[in-house]
Amino acid sequence: MPKNMPRKNAMTVDVEDYFQVSAFETHIAKDQWDTLPHRVQKNTHQILDIFEDKNIKATFFTLGWVAERYPDLIQRIIKDGHELACHGYEHIRVTEQTPEQFRNDVSRTKKLLEDMSGHEVKGYRAASYSISAKNLWALNVLQEEGFKYSSSIYPVKHDLYGMPDAPRFMFEPIENQEFKELPITTIRLGGKNIPCGGGGFFRFYPYVLSKWAFNRVNHTEKQSGIFYFHPWEIDPGQPRQGGLSFKTRTRHYLNLHKMENRIKQLLTDFSWDTLENIFLK
């Protein structure tokens, strides 16, 4: 990296609608999805507008279910020079799939996205970061199906996901293969990995803490960070679901009204690019 050139971080978007999140699985059945108000198209175009205004390139991990219904999103992601990547077909966690089911899911979605875009899909991100020490076989399947990398492991301790003993930065999990795992960014404090790579944590923390964490990763550890968020997180007007626990309600809706401005500030304070451009070239 040339001297005085800011280190680039990877900006990523998990393209799914509000009703497709894992936390709503027991509240909204998949056969209801097409009957609900869809907001992913509008929200994703809004994100693309923000990125265009800031001259930012990002990686869009897209559900096949969304791509089939909104091909205009795929066309614009490619036209605007972003990276299109795979998020599975309908947001099924890897922990809920057999190896055969997982293979069918990722190969189907990879082909769908490639046929729609005319571009090779190199990256995959599991629903809810559901690859961990218990199902590392999934990384072998991804490599065998032609993926070049996964960004599916979050090296934190969490009640729903996480692999706290995993490396905090890029590693090659499969011996004698160039396949890469790109973990979501954390910082090390008090002997623990503290999440700072986006999502609900970004909405919960004061922005100044997230800024400090990424500065530490870039300047002290001299590493590129990886940040993620979802289109529904910039949409405080989304339909509210009833019957949720306090924890689920808080995690999903906390500070949605602040998210768009925080994202814009993050884009201004740091330098950004796609996962492919930062880690594969």
Is 104 within a domain?
yes
pLDDT of residue 240: 94
Residue 39, token pair as written in the block: 């907001």
CB 209 within 8 A of CB 187: no
For the chain, the three-class secondary structure string (H helix, E strand, C coil) is: CCCCCCCEEEEEEEECCHHHCHHHCCCCCHHHHHHCCCCHHHHHHHHHHHHHHHCCCCEEEECHHHHHHCHHHHHHHHHCCCEEEECCCCCCCHHHCCHHHHHHHHHHHHHHHHHHHCCCCCEECCHHHCCCHHHCHHHHHHHHCCCCEECCCCCCCCCCCCCCCCCCCCECCCCCCCCEECCCCEEEECCEEEECCEHHHHHHCCHHHHHHHHHHHHHHCCCCCEEEECHHHHCCCCCCCCCCCHHHHHHHHCCHHHHHHHHHHHHHHCEEECHHHHHHC
pLDDT of residue 7: 94
Is 168 within a domain?
yes
pLDDT of residue 175: 85
Question: Taking the chain (281 residues) in consecutive chunks of 10 residues, what is each chunk's mean pLDDT?
Answer: 76 98 93 97 98 98 98 98 98 97 98 98 97 95 98 85 90 91 95 92 95 97 98 97 91 95 98 98 87
Is 161 within a domain?
yes
Is 203 within a domain?
yes
pLDDT of residue 270: 98
Residue 54: CATH number of its domain: 3.20.20.370
* Matching residue, tokens 């997230």: 210
Report the phi/psi class of residue 7: left, alpha or beta, with left for phi > 0 and alpha for psi in -120 to 50: beta
Is 3 within a domain?
no
pTM for the full predicted model:
0.96
Is 47 within a domain?
yes
The boundaries of the domain holding residue 143 are: 8-280
pLDDT of residue 4: 61
| Structural domains in the chain (count) | 1
Is 2 within a domain?
no
| Gap between the Cα atoms of 122 and 146, Å rounded | 7
Is 273 within a domain?
yes
pLDDT of residue 161: 75
